[in-house]
Chains A and B, each alone.
Chain A
Amino acid sequence: MNKLISRFRPEQIRLLFLLALMAIMIGFFSIQIPGYFDARFVNRISTSVAVVAVLAVGQTLVFLTRNFDLSVGSVVGLTAYIVGQQLWRHPEIPPLAAVALAIGVGAICGSINGLLIAYGRVPSIITTIATLAIYRSFLVEYSGAVPITTNLLPDWLVDLSRLSVFTVGQIQFRVLFLIMIFVVLLFQFVLSLLPFGRRLYAIGSNPDAARIAGFPAQRMVFSAFLFSGMLAGLGGFMFLGRYGNVTVLAGTGLEFASVAAVVVGGVSNMGGSGTVIGAFLGALFLDLLENSLFRWQVVSEFWRDAILGMLILAAVALDNVVFGRLKNLWARAGLQMRSEDEQKPEVAADVR
């Protein structure tokens, strides 16, 4: 048993647990809803999870440094509006320039957050609650409450959400989904293999130690927020591509959705632990749940938020209580195995 436990890291057990939970959920709803799990459903999920998953990647970077970014919902709305407006006024803008514009606007928002948090030492929760309101009010003033609608946008953008790169059977791999997969893999690579990523973990695990070890902590926190802003900008572009309609309230509530995805995906709000893949699975899990509850006739759709909140709480509680124990158990098992290998008397097992 101990050997089995020490074979997997607690974080990996957690992800397996989440995958198992998803499988159980799909099984349950397949029995409840006739024709539930088909290609159309997979396509719908793969499109709807894209925006939240991209935001969750940015949120992961910020979470790793023990911070929060609650402003992403407004950044998504703002970039979606600005890009939509520019494409409406100048339909000749090429797609890549539109994406660059979106990421640029997001970068500006993110660097404002980062400057205030990393260099101004304003706590992230305060800063981003404030900028959530500031960006939103800027959007309202800037737009003059004129919404962007599908018929104002160029055709390539309107068709973007249904455009698929290749299909396997009836399952389409759409552009938005592939962008999301690319972002997830890129940042998983950055976090697990590049020095920048490892330093983010170090700062979140112990900010004081990281500072003493000479990491440029302020610059790292700043860049985490910058990346979060840029990804929110990209999310804004994807939002525009997916819905085509942008009102001044676009993207409201996405900040909570991304925090929920990250927390369910096992990224610790105390910093220093969690993976981008986990955040993606968290986003997928919540999206699957939301879409399934939507189709399940037994409970009214109004129950969705109530259940969602409780699930986030359950994830955090589980993280704190169960995985805390599991980590202890794992550390003990690891110590025991090491001591057996070295043919030494058993190390005192009490790690606590």
Chain B
Amino acid sequence: MSANQAAMPAAGESFLSVAWRRLKSWEGLLLVMLLLILVINSTLAPGYLTINNQINLFILSIEKIMIALVMTFLIINGEIDLSAPSIMGLAACVSAFLFSRGTNFATALVIALCVGLACGIFNGFWIARVGLNSLVVTLATQISYRGLARVFVEDKSIGKFPEWFNRLGQQDLIGPFPFALLLFFFLFAVALVILQYSGFGRQVYVIGNSKDVARFSGVKVPRVKFMLYVASGLMAALAGLLLAARFGAVRGDLAAGYELDIITMVLLGGVSIFGGSGTLYGVFLSIMIILNVRNGMGLAGLSGHFQTGVIGVLLIFSVLGPNMINRARAGVSRRRMQAELRKRAT
């Protein structure tokens, strides 16, 4: 919430002080970090800031950042979905399996989306209706959905999709922008409007702040949670299919281990793991940071495993940093208060 309030201009303030206050918020810090990384990367590699490179860097992680959008909703709501990467794998495997058995490919895609929807409904049922801990439920379904994906493709790799499907992931649609990127920006705009500017979005925040307060003020908590999980399942299926289109082939371990990157993107964006605070603007900035950091490290010749380790460190600091700042702030204000009290006493 503090990020939100800090970004809100109060009446009668000069432009400069508003700008300064925005810069002091978490989003401001992220912006400075992003600019720093961009400067470093573009000095290291000439031609880094070209539109083509930036688009390319988005395309390389487009599926993750699509899921990060829904994950933002879920984490603000105080829940988590670890099963999303498995749903990606399952949806892609189902479509590939049906296609290899001679089903019309368009039908296979629709069925795969329905499978994602069903996975989301299954998660949502246990978490929203029965009221189980989302971490444990999605940990269990993560194993299950991945296992089901393996049941469909076993240890084969299925490819040779129709030409138009492969082109979906690679070819430019309008100008230099491929279909997947345009889809992402469309989804981002929709998510931004829903979370930041609609009643449903406020409900998501309220539930994250306090489930009881939300219930007593008439928010249908289970329904909101259920809808978010269904959305997460559907989005994961969509992302899985896009990933299959980009890779051109499907294996059982498709998208395994993506949860680390996705959760890091959301938390680095200033969303509290305890729910109730954070914005999609912050998440967008942190997505940009992570993509550019990874790309920069790739240019510097560091291996994928090393990059993952760095992302892990980033994840810890994205929570540890604000914690330390808050504690220091609380300490300072306490000392001030004590000084004030002492002054009054004398």
Q: Which of A311-334 contact B (CB under 8 A)?
A: 312-313, 316-317, 320-321
Q: What class of interface size applies to chain A in its complex with B?
A: 35 or more
B-contact 0/1 string along A135-164, CB 8 Å cutoff: 011101100000000000000000000000
Q: Is chain B's binding surface mostly helix, strand, loop or mixed?
A: helix
- Other than A126-B273, A137-B309, A312-B143, give 16 A-B pairs with Cβ distance below 8 A: A68-B135, A121-B323, A122-B320, A136-B308, A137-B306, A137-B308, A140-B305, A141-B303, A269-B135, A270-B133, A306-B144, A306-B151, A309-B140, A309-B146, A316-B132, A316-B140
Collect the chain A residues with CB atoms within 8 Å of residue B273's CB.
123, 125-126
Q: Is there an interface contact between B316 and A126, defined as CB atoms closer than 8 Å? A: yes
Collect the chain B residues with CB atoms within 8 Å of residue A121's CB.
323
Q: Closest Cβ of chain A: how far from B215's Cβ, in Å? A: 17
Whether B319 is near chain A, meaning CB under 8 Å from some CB there, is yes
Q: Which of B124-169 contact A (CB under 8 A)?
A: 126, 130-133, 135-137, 139-148, 150-151, 154
Q: Which of A55-96 contact B (CB under 8 A)?
A: 68
Take A116-B316, A122-B323, A269-B135 as given contacts and tell me if A313 and B147 are in contact as well, using a CB distance cutoff of 8 Å: no
Q: Is there an interface contact between B130 and A320, defined as CB atoms closer than 8 Å? A: yes
Q: Which residue of B lies closest to A129 (CB)?
A: B260
Q: Is there an interface contact between A313 and B140, defined as CB atoms closer than 8 Å? A: yes
Whether A338 is near chain B, meaning CB under 8 Å from some CB there, is no
Task: Give the distance in Å from the alpha carbon of A241 to the alpha carbon of B152 in the complex.
Answer: 35
Whether A337 is near chain B, meaning CB under 8 Å from some CB there, is no
B-contact 0/1 string along A28-66, CB 8 Å cutoff: 000000000000000000000000000000000000000
Collect the chain A residues with CB atoms within 8 Å of residue B81's CB.
none
Most buried by A among B146, B273, B312, B323: B312
B-contact 0/1 string along A2-39, CB 8 Å cutoff: 00000000000000000000000000000000000000
Take A133-B311, A137-B306, A263-B136 as given contacts and tell me if A127 and B316 are in contact as well, using a CB distance cutoff of 8 Å: yes
Our pick among B80, B146, B313 for the contact of A130 (Cβ within 8 Å) is B313
Q: Is chain A's binding surface mostly helix, strand, loop or mixed?
A: helix
Q: Is there an interface contact between A305 and B306, defined as CB atoms closer than 8 Å? A: no
Collect the chain B residues with CB atoms within 8 Å of residue A125's CB.
80, 135, 273
Q: Which residue of B lies closest to A255 (CB)?
A: B139
Task: Give the distance in Å from the alpha carbon of A141 to the alpha carbon of B297 in the complex.
Answer: 15
Q: Is there an interface contact between B306 and A141, defined as CB atoms closer than 8 Å? A: yes
Q: Is there an interface contact between A317 and B132, defined as CB atoms closer than 8 Å? A: yes
Collect the chain B residues with CB atoms within 8 Å of residue A351's CB.
none
Q: Is there an interface contact between B143 and A308, defined as CB atoms closer than 8 Å? A: yes
Most buried by A among B139, B308, B310: B139
Whether A120 is near chain B, meaning CB under 8 Å from some CB there, is yes
Name 21 interchain pairs, CB-CB below 8 A, sorted by A: A116-B316, A126-B273, A126-B315, A129-B263, A133-B260, A136-B308, A136-B309, A137-B305, A137-B306, A140-B305, A141-B305, A260-B140, A303-B151, A306-B151, A309-B145, A313-B137, A313-B140, A313-B144, A316-B136, A316-B140, A321-B130
Collect the chain B residues with CB atoms within 8 Å of residue A321's CB.
130
Q: Is there an interface contact between B147 and A133, defined as CB atoms closer than 8 Å? A: no
Our pick among B141, B147, B259, B320 for the contact of A307 (Cβ within 8 Å) is B147
Take A130-B313, A137-B312 as given contacts and tell me if A309 and B130 are in contact as well, using a CB distance cutoff of 8 Å: no
Q: Closest Cβ of chain A: how far from B4's Cβ, in Å? A: 22
Task: Give the distance in Å from the alpha carbon of A122 to the alpha carbon of B322 in the complex.
Answer: 10
Q: Which residue of B lies closest to A141 (CB)?
A: B306
Most buried by B among A131, A133, A136, A140: A133
Q: Which residue of A lies closest to B153 (CB)?
A: A302
Take A120-B320, A134-B312 as given contacts and tell me if A305 and B150 are in contact as well, using a CB distance cutoff of 8 Å: yes
Task: Give the distance in Å from the alpha carbon of A68 to the alpha carbon of B273 in the complex.
Answer: 14
Task: Give the distance in Å from the alpha carbon of A263 to the alpha carbon of B319 in the complex.
Answer: 27
Whether A1 is near chain B, meaning CB under 8 Å from some CB there, is no
Most buried by B among A125, A307, A309, A320: A309
Q: Is there an interface contact between A138 and B309, defined as CB atoms closer than 8 Å? A: yes
Q: Closest Cβ of chain A: how far from B100's Cβ, in Å? A: 16
Whether B267 is near chain A, meaning CB under 8 Å from some CB there, is yes
Take A122-B316, A140-B305, A302-B151 as given contacts and tell me if A309 and B141 are in contact as well, using a CB distance cutoff of 8 Å: yes
Whether A304 is near chain B, meaning CB under 8 Å from some CB there, is yes
B-contact 0/1 string along A253-286, CB 8 Å cutoff: 0001001100100000110000000000000000
Take A134-B312, A137-B305, A269-B136 as given contacts and tell me if A305 and B146 are in contact as well, using a CB distance cutoff of 8 Å: yes
Q: Which residue of A lies closest to B307 (CB)?
A: A137
Whether A167 is near chain B, meaning CB under 8 Å from some CB there, is no
Collect the chain B residues with CB atoms within 8 Å of residue A141's CB.
303, 305-306, 309
Q: Is there an interface contact between B137 and A316, defined as CB atoms closer than 8 Å? A: yes
Whether A300 is near chain B, meaning CB under 8 Å from some CB there, is yes
Whether A213 is near chain B, meaning CB under 8 Å from some CB there, is no
A-contact 0/1 string along B50-76, CB 8 Å cutoff: 000000000000000000000000000
Task: Give the distance in Å from the alpha carbon of A305 to the alpha carbon of B152 in the complex.
Answer: 13
Q: Is there an interface contact between A140 and B143, defined as CB atoms closer than 8 Å? A: no
Task: Give the distance in Å from the alpha carbon of A35 to the alpha carbon of B80 in the complex.
Answer: 45
Whether A168 is near chain B, meaning CB under 8 Å from some CB there, is no
Task: Give the distance in Å from the alpha carbon of A308 to the alpha carbon of B319 in the complex.
Answer: 32
Our pick among A260, A263, A309, A320 for the contact of B131 (Cβ within 8 Å) is A320
Take A129-B263, A316-B132 as given contacts and tell me if A134 and B144 are in contact as well, using a CB distance cutoff of 8 Å: no
A-contact 0/1 string along B267-291, CB 8 Å cutoff: 1000001100000000000000000
Whether A193 is near chain B, meaning CB under 8 Å from some CB there, is no
Collect the chain A residues with CB atoms within 8 Å of residue B137's CB.
313, 316
Our pick among A126, A133, A138, A313 for the contact of B126 (Cβ within 8 Å) is A313
Our pick among B141, B142, B151, B308 for the contact of A300 (Cβ within 8 Å) is B151
Collect the chain B residues with CB atoms within 8 Å of residue A259's CB.
139
B-contact 0/1 string along A83-123, CB 8 Å cutoff: 00000000000000000000000000000000010001111
Collect the chain B residues with CB atoms within 8 Å of residue A133's CB.
260, 308-309, 311-312
